[in-house]
Amino acid sequence: MGGNRRRSDHWTKKAKAAGFSARSVYKLEEIQRREKMLPRKGRVVDLGCCPGSWSQYLRRLAGGKLSLVGIDLTDTPDYPGTFLQGSALTIPSARIVEALGGPTADLLMSDMAPNTMGDRFTDHIRQIELARAALRISRAVLRPGGDFIVKVFDGEEAPDFVNEVRPHFRKTRRIKPEATRRESVEFFIVARGFKAESRDSLEPPISG
């Protein structure tokens, strides 16, 4: 237990010293170090963006050349782009594209997780539901050749979900970054090269 706390403190203190809002930034940094995939210009969607560290990291990489749209249930006033408050389970993809200022995104990334209940199976199922929502949105907003990063809680439904992602991209891999807590069951699917034939039409915006 003490070792886990020290490990957690290391990443938290490092993030604070670097001016990032959360330790989770180092998960994305490792994905970038291993995959060299984050865009330096274009459009990016950040699902489950609060408190904003992933988009902060992208903004530092790219400066003002990226259009960033973040979505979260929790208000994120310091988000370094356009923030939409709402649920990825219900937000229309057309609203996301409108906020991007262009027809497609170069990258969709999701660090979404439910408020955990303490029951491992229930938490797993609820998180997979969020991951599936991220995949659905990616199929509506990504450009052909675009990339997808999504958090997954490992468990009974995880292999099926990985297999759901694979047909829509040229390459997929699982990554568990070093900054992930040792007791955590999370990993990330990194999917490269979105296939044009997998593109879904946008849902119409909700009127009223």
- The answer to whether residue 3 scores a pLDDT higher than 70 is no
Separation CA 52–CA 76 (nearest Å): 7
- Mean pLDDT (whole number) for 10-22: 63
- pLDDT band at residue 207 under the 50/70/90 scheme: very low
- Mean pLDDT (whole number) for 11-35: 77
Cis ω for the linkage preceding 80 (within 30 of 0): no
State pLDDT tens for residues 92-147.
999 999 999 999 999 999 999 998 888 899 999 999 999 999 999 999 999 999 99
Q: Please, where are the H alpha helices in 2-150?
A: 2-18, 25-35, 53-62, 93-100, 120-141
Domain 2-196 has CATH 3.20.20.70: no
Q: What pTM was estimated for this model as a whole?
A: 0.89
State pLDDT tens for residues 155-176.
999 999 999 999 999 999 999 9
- pLDDT band at residue 18 under the 50/70/90 scheme: low
**Residue that has been written with the tokens 């370094």 in this structure:** 80
With H, G, I as helix, E, B as strand and everything else as coil, classify residue 74: coil
Domain extent listing, the chain: 2-196
Tell me how many helices (H) and strands (E) the chain has.
6, 7
What is the structure's pLDDT at 128? 98
- pLDDT band at residue 63 under the 50/70/90 scheme: confident
Known catalytic residue at 171: no
Catalytic residue (choose from 27, 151, 176, 195)? 151
